[in-house]
Amino acid sequence: EVQLVESGGGLVQPGGSLRLSCAASGSTLTSHSISWVRQAPGKGLEWVSYSGTTSTTTYYADSVKGRFTISRDNAKNSVYLQMNSLRAEDTAIYYCASVYHYYMDVWGRGTTVTVSS
C-alpha cells in the first residue's frame, strides 16, 4: 500500500506563495491519482485539487482556481501544490490523498499552512 507524506507548510504573509509536496513510498505514483484536501481550523474537509496519473488531467475547486497549481514529478514519486496569492482563508491543514474510483483510499498526515501578517 502506498504511504503519503506531506511537507512544505509554514507561515506565510497574505499575498505570498508556498509549494507543498506529497511524497509517496511503498508504491510508484504513476499508478495513483492524487487529490489535495484541506481542513481549516475547527472546520470540515474541503477538496482543493486533483491530479490524474499524468499531469494532463487536473481539476481545482473554485475557491483556489487560478491561484493554485497541482503538478507531479513521477521520477521523484511526488505531487506538488503550488499556492500563490495566498489569503487568510487558505489557512488550513493540507492533506494529500490517493484517489481511487472517486474516493480517497489513503491519506497523508497533513502539513499546516498559516497565512497571516
Looking at residue 30, the DSSP 8-state letter turns out to be G
**Cα separation, 45 vs 90, whole angstroms:** 13
- 89 lies in the binding site for other proteins (CB under 8 A): no
Nearer of residues 54 and 59 to other proteins, judged by Cβ: 59
Closest by CA position to 61, among listed 45, 41, 80, 78: 45
Q: How many of the chain's residues bind other proteins (CB under 8 A)?
A: 22
Task: Rule CB under 8 A: choose which of 60, 67, 74, 91 binds other proteins.
Answer: 60
Nearer of residues 2 and 47 to other proteins, judged by Cβ: 47
Task: Rule CB under 8 A: choose which of 2, 5, 23, 45 binds other proteins.
Answer: 45
- 68 lies in the binding site for other proteins (CB under 8 A): no
Cβ atoms 14, 73 nearer than 8 A: no
